[in-house]
Amino acid sequence: MTDSAKPKSSAETGAACLTACVQAAAENDETIVHGTFTENGTGEDFSGASFRACRFLRCSLTGCDFTGCDFTETVFEGCNFSGSTFRDCTFLGCTVQNAKWTGADFSGAYFKNCTVKGCMLNLAAFDSCRVQNADLTGCDCTGASLCAVSWKQVHAADCELVENNFFKTSLSGADLSLCRFEAPVVSSDLTELRGAKMTSLQFDGLAGLLKIKLV
């Protein structure tokens, strides 16, 4: 892995810059390292690329394909990735702030040691994701699908968890008391919600749920 796939200078902006970096890295089987991108584009194909210690700043990359990409210690700040595809991606030690991912598809992705703050994740798909040691703060996840998600050591605070599909996702041990948690979609026997922690107000709004620990 080398730095040769990174942009030549910070003046190289626009979708062509990121596209050129991804193409060059693919041809040489390299990882894109220390790249800074301020892109605008729609429908671009960046699938299979690897990024390490990169920064995506105020990008607008909507409807793009990032399938199978690896992101390590990468920062996303003020970006718009609405409608983009991140299926089967890996996010390791990444930081995401004030970004918009409305309707994005993260199905099958793996997140570890990530921090996500102030983001729009409404209507996004996280089905079959694996999440380990993550901090989710101040995010709007309304209508997001989280079916068959495996998560450990996930801290959520000040988030909108409304009308989410948690089918086959166990919330046992999850602390939902610091979030707005309403109208979840679960299986008929409520298995997904057993052992979750929530406030008495949240409990009252979800009357009839089983084995919920009040805080």
What confidence tens digit (pLDDT) does each residue in 8-34 have?
Answer: 333 333 445 899 899 999 999 999 999
State residue 112's pLDDT score: 99
State residue 183's pLDDT score: 87
Q: What is the pTM of this model?
A: 0.87
Q: Is 76 contained in some domain? A: yes
Q: Is 179 contained in some domain? A: no
The domain total for the chain is 1
Could you list the residue range(s) of the whole structural domain that residue 62 is in?
A: 41-169
Q: Each residue of 59-107: pLDDT tens digit?
A: 999 999 999 999 999 999 999 999 999 999 999 999 999 999 999 999 9
The CATH code of the domain that includes 85 is 2.160.20.80
Q: Is 136 contained in some domain? A: yes
Q: Is 55 contained in some domain? A: yes
Average pLDDT for the chain: 89
State residue 119's pLDDT score: 99
Q: Is 189 contained in some domain? A: no
Q: Each residue of 200-209: pLDDT tens digit?
A: 888 777 765 4
Q: Is 60 contained in some domain? A: yes
Q: Is 87 contained in some domain? A: yes
Confidence of residue 189 (pLDDT cuts 50, 70, 90): confident
Burial class (CB in 10 A: 0-12, 13-18, 19+), 214: exposed
Q: Is 193 contained in some domain? A: no
